[in-house]
């Protein structure tokens, strides 16, 4: 089996339970802003939020939209499912944008304070550290939010290097992101492997940059579309590879 010295790890939904924590945070935000005044059924808001969020993050990873656009639009769109809020948006887009930003600030604060991790995350990171691997976080997440999440879930001290797209100036899956990550970490491409849950950004991005990969496939609706070096269904299975 090939020997690796350095491991690039995606953070959101690979180690940190971003989706699960966000579900809780979204409900808390909904309650804080008394959005039940505008929605007979909160599911209409929640469902549109997730659909919009997935679309926007996909576009953001491709560099099609900015961070600022994402932050506003992921709330503007689902809020406008409410006819009353849609009218307010049409009457004063600027004021409504400020309203969306206020909601976003509260939501992100709730999200980044949650400690929830994917099952087996701490065990895997302890195992990899004990085995002597150099560990490098590679994320498209926002700078201030990611550091708060790291602290909240107790994984801050497990990484040798924190590599974020905002510092790299480009998002995964761009090969330029991985070039930046290799330079910042001092890792050798031939002895580095990437672990991630997003097939497009993490796995194809790393593969196209010449890296071996471990696809953490825990989203049945987003399967691998081409061969990968390794594929696992649970984080604990990575211990049988590395």
The sheet with strand 161-164 has its strands ordered as: 161-164, 134-139, 6-9, 192-196, 212-216, 230-232
- Are 130 and 233 contained in the same domain? yes
pLDDT digits (tens, 9 = 90+) for 166-215: 999 999 999 999 999 999 999 999 999 999 999 999 999 999 999 999 99
Q: Encoding tokens for residue 138?
A: 């590679």
Which residues sit opposite 16 in a β-bridge?
12, 117
Please say if the pLDDT value at position 1 is more than 80.
Answer: no
pLDDT of res. 220 = 81
Q: Indicate which CATH number applies to the domain containing 23.
A: 1.10.150.240
Please say if the pLDDT value at position 224 is more than 90.
Answer: no
| Total domain count, the chain | 2
- Are 13 and 24 contained in the same domain? no
- For residue 42, being part of any structural domain is answered with yes
- For residue 29, being part of any structural domain is answered with yes
Instruction: Give me the mean pLDDT over the 123-150 stretch.
Output: 96
Q: How confident is the model at residue 147 (pLDDT cuts 50, 70, 90)?
A: very high
- Are 141 and 85 contained in the same domain? no
CA–CA dist 78, 182 (Å, integer): 38
pLDDT of res. 225 = 87
- For residue 228, being part of any structural domain is answered with yes
Instruction: Give me the mean pLDDT over the 72-89 stretch.
Output: 95
pLDDT of res. 222 = 80
Percent of the chain with pLDDT over 70: 100
Among 112, 136, 161, identify where a domain stops.
112
- Are 130 and 13 contained in the same domain? yes
- Are 136 and 230 contained in the same domain? yes
Q: Encoding tokens for residue 143?
A: 């700078």
- Are 108 and 211 contained in the same domain? no
- For residue 1, being part of any structural domain is answered with no
Mean pLDDT of the residues in the chain? 95
Of 17-31, 36-50, 158-172, 214-228, which range is least confident? 214-228
| pTM, two decimal places | 0.92
Q: DSSP letters of 117-158? A: B-TTHHHHHHHHHHTT-EEEEEE-S-HHHHHHHHHHHT-GGG
- Are 192 and 145 contained in the same domain? yes
Distances (CA, A) of 105 to 4, 26, 112, 140, 179: 40, 12, 11, 18, 32
pLDDT of res. 221 = 80
Please say if the pLDDT value at position 31 is more than 90.
Answer: yes
Q: Indicate which CATH number applies to the domain containing 127.
A: 3.40.50.1000
- Are 120 and 204 contained in the same domain? yes
- For residue 77, being part of any structural domain is answered with yes
pLDDT of res. 6 = 98
Q: DSSP letters of 41-60? A: SHHHHHHHHHHHHHHHHHHH
CA–CA dist 194, 10 (Å, integer): 8
From the list 168, 147, 178, the residue with the least C-alpha distance to 11 is 147
Please say if the pLDDT value at position 219 is more than 90.
Answer: no
- Residues spanned by the domain of 46: 19-112
pLDDT of res. 42 = 92
Using the structure block, give the residue that is written with the tokens 């701490």. Answer: 122
């Amino acid at each position: 089996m090939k020997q690796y010295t350095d491991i690039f790890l995606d953070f959101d939904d690979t180690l940190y339970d971003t989706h699960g924590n966000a579900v809780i945070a979204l409900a808390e935000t909904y309650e804080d802003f008394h959005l039940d005044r505008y929605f007979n059924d909160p599911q209409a808001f929640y469902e549109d939020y997730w659909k919009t969020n997935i679309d926007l993050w996909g576009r953001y990873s491709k560099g099609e939209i900015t961070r600022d656009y994402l932050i506003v639009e992921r709330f503007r769109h689902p809020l406008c499912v409410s006819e009353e809020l849609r009218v307010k948006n049409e009457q004063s887009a600027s004021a409504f944008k400020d309203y969306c930003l206020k909601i976003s600030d509260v939501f992100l604060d709730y999200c980044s304070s949650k400690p929830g991790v994917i099952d087996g995350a701490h065990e895997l990171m302890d195992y990899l550290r004990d085995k002597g691997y150099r560990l490098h976080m590679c994320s498209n997440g926002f700078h201030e939010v990611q550091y708060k999440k790291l602290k909240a879930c107790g994984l801050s001290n497990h990484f040798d290097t924190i590599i974020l797209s905002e510092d790299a100036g480009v998002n995964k899956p761009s090969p330029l992101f991985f070039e930046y990550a290799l330079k910042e970490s001092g890792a050798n491409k031939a002895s580095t492997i990437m672990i991630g849950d997003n097939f497009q950004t993490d796995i194809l991005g790393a593969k196209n940059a010449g890296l071996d990969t471990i696809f953490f496939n825990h989203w049945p609706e987003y399967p691998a579309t081409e061969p990968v070096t390794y594929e696992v269904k649970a984080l604990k299975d990575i211990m049988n590879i590395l």
